[in-house]
Each structure stands twice: as C-alpha cells, then as structure tokens.
C-alpha cells in the first residue's frame, strides 16, 4: 500500500477528519491510487473477472466461518452500492437531513433479492456505473460537502472511497472463499512496433 500524498484532485483520498468510524479508514486503506472515480471504475474489471470465474456450485455455498452464500454477498454489494449512491446524491445536493444507518444483515437474511446471479452482477455493475457518472457530474466543490449518516458527520469524498473499499473487501473474501485468483486490473496492451515508412 502506498502512503497517501497530498493532492488537489477533488476526488483525492479523504482526510481523517472527513469520517469518524475507524473501520471506514480501514476500508479506504485497502485501496491504491489518488482518484476515487478511477478506483471505482477500475474495480469493474475485477468484479466481472471474479463473477465469471465462480462455479454454479460455489454461488450458493456458505463457506465456514461465513454465514452468507456467495450469492448473498453479491446481493449485499448491490444493496450497499445503492445505499452509498443515495447518500452521495443527498450530500452533493447539500441535504443536511440525518440519513439512517441500514441493517445489512437484515437485508441479507430477508433473501428478498436472490435472483439470477448474472442479473445480480449486472445490477451491481449498473449501480456502480451510475455512481461513477454522478461523481463525474457534480461540481468539484461537492466533494468537500458533508452530511450526516447515523448522526455522524461524513464527507461525500469519504463515502466515494468507502464505496470502493467496501467492494474491495468483499471481492477479496469471495476470492479466498472460492480459492480463486483473478486479474484485478485490465491488462495493458504493449505497443507493437512503429509503422513502416
């Protein structure tokens, strides 16, 4: 992990003062890079590579000591992506209403959205794309705005980075559970020779 460097990017890594929960800092510290939108976009390759490598049998397996199936993990990631996106939208708009926390375990245990695995992954990808588009649309000053979640102040910038750290955390666990290692970044094509002439 590279130490964070000062940056003038609006989407730069958040300062410690931008959130209060230590586990949020832990999620952000899992990530490399100086730009949230780049990290969020680049994760899509890892998501697709991993999802396409999971066997049908593994999708509905609970691997001890975990209590969710892999399908539930991906459903949880889609739900979280939706919640994080809503929070970013509200904060970008300057809404100071305290936003409630959400009980992720209750959502997972309700099993309300355990449909076709491919559809869950597609939904997660669409939600991530929508969140990145929101972050690219907002004016730079919005990244500094703060709001309240569960009565704790947090910046839009911090939520963007937490969104990436959250998915990173769960994809790492799925790789470990399923004993799969996939490329996390799209391979860079090497230039072929110079054109003749």
Check which CATH number belongs to the domain holding 53 and give it: 1.20.120.450
Residue 197 lies in a domain: no
149: helix, strand or coil: strand
Residue 117 lies in a domain: yes
Q: Which of 48, 73, 55, 50 is nearest to 128 (CA)?
A: 48
Residue 39 lies in a domain: yes
91: helix, strand or coil: helix
Residue 62 lies in a domain: yes
pLDDT of residue 2: 46
pLDDT of residue 3: 45
Residue 192 lies in a domain: no
Instruction: Show the DSSP H helices in the chain as ranges.
Output: 22-29, 36-51, 56-59, 70-92, 104-110, 117-137, 156-178
Angstrom CA distances, 39 to 43, 67, 107, stand at 6, 28, 26
User: Residue 54: which domain range?
Assistant: 18-178
Residue 87 lies in a domain: yes
Report pTM. Answer: 0.90
Residue 78 lies in a domain: yes
How many CA atoms are closer than 13 Å to the CA of 157, on its beta-carbon side?
21
Give 160: exposed, middle or buried? Use CB within 10 Å, 0-12, 13-18, 19+: buried
pLDDT of residue 112: 80
Q: What is the pLDDT along the chain (197 residues), one digit of tens a residue?
A: 444 445 678 999 999 999 999 999 999 999 999 999 999 999 999 999 999 999 999 999 999 999 999 999 999 999 999 999 999 999 999 999 999 999 998 888 887 877 899 999 999 999 999 999 999 999 999 999 999 999 999 999 999 999 999 999 999 999 999 999 999 998 887 766 666 55
Q: Measure the CA–CA gap between 123 and 59, rounded to whole angstroms.
A: 16
Number of domains in the chain: 1
Residue 1 lies in a domain: no
């Amino acid at each position: 992990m590279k130490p964070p460097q000062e940056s003038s990017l609006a989407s730069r890594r958040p300062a410690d003062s931008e959130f209060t929960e230590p586990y949020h800092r832990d999620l952000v510290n899992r990530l490399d890079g100086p730009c949230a939108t780049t990290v969020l976009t680049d994760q899509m390759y890892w998501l697709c590579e991993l999802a396409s490598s999971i066997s049908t049998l593994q999708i509905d397996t609970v691997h001890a000591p975990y209590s969710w199936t892999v399908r539930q993990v991906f459903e949880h990631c889609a739900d979280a992506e939706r919640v994080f996106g809503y929070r970013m939208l509200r904060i970008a708009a300057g809404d100071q209403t305290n936003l409630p926390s959400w009980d992720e375990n209750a959502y997972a245990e309700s099993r309300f959205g355990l449909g076709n695995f491919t559809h869950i992954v597609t939904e997660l990808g669409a939600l991530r794309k929508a969140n990145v588009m929101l972050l690219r649309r907002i004016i730079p000053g919005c990244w500094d705005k703060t709001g309240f979640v569960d009565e704790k102040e947090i910046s839009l910038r911090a939520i963007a980075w937490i969104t990436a750290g959250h998915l990173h955390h769960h994809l790492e666990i799925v790789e470990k559970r399923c004993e799969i290692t996939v490329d996390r970044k799209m391979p860079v094509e090497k230039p072929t020779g110079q054109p003749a002439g």
